Amino acid sequence: MIYVWAFLVGGFICLIGQFLMDVMKLTPAHTVSTLVVAGAILGGLGWYDKITEFAGAGATVPITSFGNALVNGALMEAKTQGLVGVLTGIFEVTSAGISAAIVFGFLAAVVFKPKG
Amino acid sequence: MAQANAKKLTPIQREYQALAKAYEPSRPLLQNFIRAFVVGGAISVLGQGLEDMFIHYFGFTQKTAGNPTVAILILLAALATGLGVFDKLASFAGAGTAVPVTGFANSIVSTALEHKSEGYVLGVGGNMFKLAGSVLVFGVVAAFFIGIIRSLPGLGG
């Protein structure tokens, strides 16, 4: 059942992205930035984790989860460290994604040749 | 954006814009929406499959399985970008590939490759986050303010 919800929720978030690009005429960079901020706001309200509970990867794979994870990291550290925790904790949860993107991105640039 | 510029145009320029707009092919909205929905949903299902694999065979929990899943998806997107497959899929799927974390990886690899000729330090290193940087900046700034607001005493912190 979680696969059905993953498909529906993941697809729906991409549908919103397509709507922002086609109807609101945003560039892809504006679209993705908007979605990240939206994910951060939903994370701050505590709603994003509720979506993740039933949609699984449908909520964690789209870029909105990046905004949510930034907020989660900041709030987790803030609980134990106080306000400074907001700064030290922001990348706590998203470290894997960012590090993987930098490492694999660099290796891909070394291995592959630019196309066209 | 178009409306903001319209005031500065001469009548002839405005006439031309109206003419050009009439010949501009209209975007096939429904088709784009369906493609984005199906491809985005399919990538999420693939992610769910990876997550379940990490939970059942590698001892991850529901909460921690997200990290390796995202890393694998980023690796796949980096490979697909390097091989030139990603662009073809992206032109078909639009937001369906741009919105999942695959789009983040694609933007990093494609700008890194594009600037490879300028060298590894100035080209690859300096341009890697040219597109992905906006996601980081707005994500972190938003998270900072939301984190501060939620952590202040008396505001649900």
What pLDDT, in 10s, does the model give residues A18-58? Answer: 999 999 999 999 999 999 999 999 999 999 999 999 999 99
Residue B100 — φ and ψ, nearest 5°? -65, 170
pTM (2 d.p.):
0.88
Beta-ladder partners of A77: none
In angstroms, the separation between the Cα of residue B59 and the nearest Cα of chain A is 17
Judge: A9–B143 Cβ closer than 8 Å, yes or no.
Answer: no
- Torsion, CA B21, CA B24, CA B28, CA B32, rounded to 10: -100
What pLDDT, in 10s, does the model give residues B1-30? Answer: 455 555 678 888 888 888 888 887 777 899
pLDDT in the model for residue B1: 47
Judge: B109–A62 Cβ closer than 8 Å, yes or no.
Answer: no
Q: Does A51 touch chain B (CB under 8 A)?
A: no
Judge: B48–A2 Cβ closer than 8 Å, yes or no.
Answer: yes
Q: Could you give the 3-state DSSP secondary structure of residue B100? A: strand
For chain A positions 9-38, those within 8 Å of chain B (CB to CB) are: 9-23, 25, 28-29, 31-33, 35-37
Q: Could you give the 3-state DSSP secondary structure of residue B60? A: coil
> Which domain covers residue A28, as residue numbers?
2-111
pLDDT in the model for residue B51: 94
pLDDT in the model for residue B32: 94
What pLDDT, in 10s, does the model give residues B53-76? Answer: 999 999 998 888 888 999 999 999
Nearest to A60 among B36, B47, B139 (CB): B47
Please calculate the CA angle B66-B72-B75 and round it to the nearest 5 degrees: 140
> Residue range B70-98: average pLDDT?
95
Nearest residue in chain B measured CA to CA from A95: B67
Q: Confirm whether A103 is domain-assigned.
A: yes
Q: Could you give the 3-state DSSP secondary structure of residue B61? A: coil
Q: What are the domain boundaries of chain B?
A: 34-131
Q: Which of A36, A61, A110 to mutate to test the interface with B (most CBs of B within 10 A)?
A: A61
ipTM entry: 0.93
pLDDT in the model for residue B18: 85
Please state the domain count of chain A.
Answer: 1
Q: Confirm whether A116 is domain-assigned.
A: no
